[in-house]
Structure 1
Amino acid sequence: MSIDAAVRWLLLIHQLPAKPAYARVKVWRRLQALGAVTVKNAVYALPANAETREDFAWLAKEIVESAGEAIVCEASLIEGLSDDELQALFDAARDTDYARIAVEAREAAARLVGDAPDDVLAEVTSHAARLRKQLDAIVAIDFFGAEGRATAEGLVSGLEAALKQEGEAMSDGKTVAAPPPGPLKDQVWVTREGVQVDRIASAWLIRRFIDPGARFRFVSGTGYRPQPGEIRFDMFEGEFTHLGDRCTFEVLLGRAGLDDGALRAIGEIIHDIDLKDGKYGREEVAGVRSLISGITASSTDDEQRLARGAALLDDLYSSFAVRKDGQ
């Protein structure tokens, strides 16, 4: 996603004495908590807004009180580093955070397989609460909507749902299935701009098999408030998004009741590309990943990405349909 050329940045330029060492550690931890990234040596950046100005002002005060020096300035980037490159540093930092949450959520969910004893359920419940708290803290400093957010949110939400089902299990040992979605015809479907593999595939699935009259809107990954009647997909708190270890495409398949071997096969490919966990090990993954990467690299226009992705997925679907079972 390309950001506004008029974006302003806050830069904290500081220096601390070598001792006491704890002062350096304290400042570093505060910078991490604020979501700041290193521009060069002791220069840290945040996108400029009222909240981040206050955050850096307080931190500068702490640095001075620790016998250090600090300058906070607001600037536009001109040479040496572009706005997009600086945004990429923020996204990479948050994706690292989200990846850690995703790993822990998968490991916790694996402990619920079978009849988990009460002590394990208690441990996983406590772990899930910690992960939710950590995820909320990461989201608060995810200034540009990093790609890993949907996966981490889906896995944590899935873990919470699994724990809820354990607690509300019916007397026969079964759990209540989610109700089917209402009519999904001629709707406005909203997703994050800068579409990648899961959003491209999900949009194709929606328009071809769920809602032929679908209209798509592409919005910022952060701070968007849905309008009445809009349906969000592959978005934080969206109606259709990652759940547990399922990508958005897989969630749409299940919620729409599409029992089609060719679509399941495509879902397995999209899952392995998007979640990068090798769950299905489909041999087509590498080729499809390369083709979609080429589509996204050649155009920044989301409608064009969807159109070119649809042509690819149409051919892939036809290939699997001929094989009947998708294998």
Structure 2
Amino acid sequence: MRWATLAHIHLDRVASPWLVLRFVDTSAEFEFVEWGLDGALPDPSRLELPEDSTPIGMPGAELSLHDENGSCFRKILDFYGLDCPALWRMERIIAAGISDALGLPRRVDETEEERTLGIALNLLGTALGVAFDDPQHLEHAIPLYDAVYEHCRMRELPVGVLAGAPSLPPLRIPYLREALRSGVSNPTPQDG
């Protein structure tokens, strides 16, 4: 399926294609629609969408840009009924990054971890946008968002499982992988 979003992707318009690719349409192809350089959001009626594409992260689209109803990422979660707790945890990180990028006030319930990771995604997204054009930016950002998702999955593990993780990476990584794979509350470290 073809999907379209505004060119010069950043944060939410990288996270949302990641979400589509990983949980909605694994064969998704993305088109990037150019828009004005006047500093204003584009008029939806003036955007030229690729034929047969589903718009995301665009003004006027059902799965639109961040607004009072939340991020595009959140809208995709809602629209497709994705109720994975790790994805909703990830949405909070993305929302924190959007707030930072737009200079908006922090949410009252925003954690330091959400803020830190959100700011990091904002800064890294800017750097990826400078280093690469949109298709390459998205390609290089996919592993980054995969890692954020795995972090969020780990945060969903019981506290005792996380506390029981060995400190040395050769033991910690297999332990956490096993905990995530099996859902076992007390995974045993495997030889690395």
| Alignment partners' CA distance in 1, 2:56 and 2:10 | 13
Q: Is the 8 A contact 1:190 1:217 kept in 2?
A: yes
1:261 to 2:77 alignment: no
| Matched position secondary structure for 1:217 | strand
Q: How does 1:243-262 map to 2 (within 5 A)?
A: 244-262=68-86
Report the counterpart of residue 277 of structure 1 in structure 2: 105
In the superposition, relative to structure 1, how do residues 325 and 316 fare at CA in structure 2: closer, same or farther (>3 Å)?
same
1:293 equivalent among 123, 129, 133: 123
Against the structure 1 CA distance between its residues 190 and 290, is the aligned structure 2 distance closer, same or farther, given a 3 Å change threshold?
Answer: same
- Secondary structure of 1:318's match? helix
Shift of 1:211: 0.7
Distance 2:75 2:58 in 1: 13
**Aligned counterpart, 2:7:** 193
How many angstroms does 1:311 deviate by? 1.0
SS at match of 2:106: coil
- Normalised by the length of structure 2, the TM-score is 0.65
Once the two structures are superposed, residues 148-185 of structure 1 have per-residue CA deviations (whole angstroms, 9 ceiling, x without a partner) of: xxxxxxxxxxxxxxxxxxxxxxxxxxxxxxxxxxxxxx
Query: What do the CA deviations read for 1:64-114 (whole angstroms, capped 9, x no partner)?
Result: xxxxxxxxxxxxxxxxxxxxxxxxxxxxxxxxxxxxxxxxxxxxxxxxxxx
Residue 149 of structure 2: aligned partner? 317
Larger Rg: 1
Q: Offset at 1:313?
A: 1.3
Question: Aligned letter for 2:21?
Answer: R
In 2: Cα distance, 1:192 partner to 1:213 partner: 19
- Name the CA distance, whole Å, in 1 between partners of 2:94 and 2:135: 19
Higher RCO, Cα 8 Å, sep 6+: 2
**Aligned partner letter, 1:249:** F
Matched residue type, 1:267: E
Letter in 2 for 1:286: T
Q: Please, which of 1, 4, 21 is the counterpart of residue 207 of structure 1?
A: 21
Task: Report how many residues are paired.
Answer: 141
Structure with the bigger percentage of strand: 1
2:56 is aligned with 1:233: yes
Deviation at 1:326, TM superposition (A): 10
Output aligned runs, 1:1-327, within 5 Å.
187-221=1-35, 222=42, 223-241=46-64, 242=66, 244-275=68-99, 276-279=104-107, 280-282=109-111, 283-297=113-127, 298-324=130-156
Return 5+ residue gaps in structure 1 as ranges: 1-186
The alpha carbon displacement at 1:243 in A equals 5.0
- Give, in angstroms, the shift of residue 325 of structure 1: 6.2
Residues 326 and 308 (structure 1), Cα distance of their counterparts in 2 relative to 1, 3 Å cut: farther
Structure-2 separation of matches of 1:203 and 1:304? 13
- Between the aligned partners of 1:277 and 1:196, the Cα distance in structure 2 is 19
Say what the alpha-carbon RMSD is for the aligned residues: 2.2
In the alignment, the residues of structure 2 paired with residue 306 and residue 227 of structure 1 have an alpha-carbon distance, to the nearest angstrom, of: 18
- TM-score of the superposed pair, with normalisation by structure 1: 0.40
Change (3 A) 1:249 1:229: same
- Check conservation: 1:204, 1:313, Cα contact below 8 A: yes
Partner secondary structure for residue 68 of structure 2: coil
**Aligned equivalents of 1:213, 1:277: Cα separation in 2:** 37
- Does the C-alpha gap of structure 1 residues 326 and 236 become closer, same or farther in structure 2, counting only changes over 3 Å? farther
Q: CA deviation at 1:274?
A: 1.1
Letter in 2 for 1:229: D
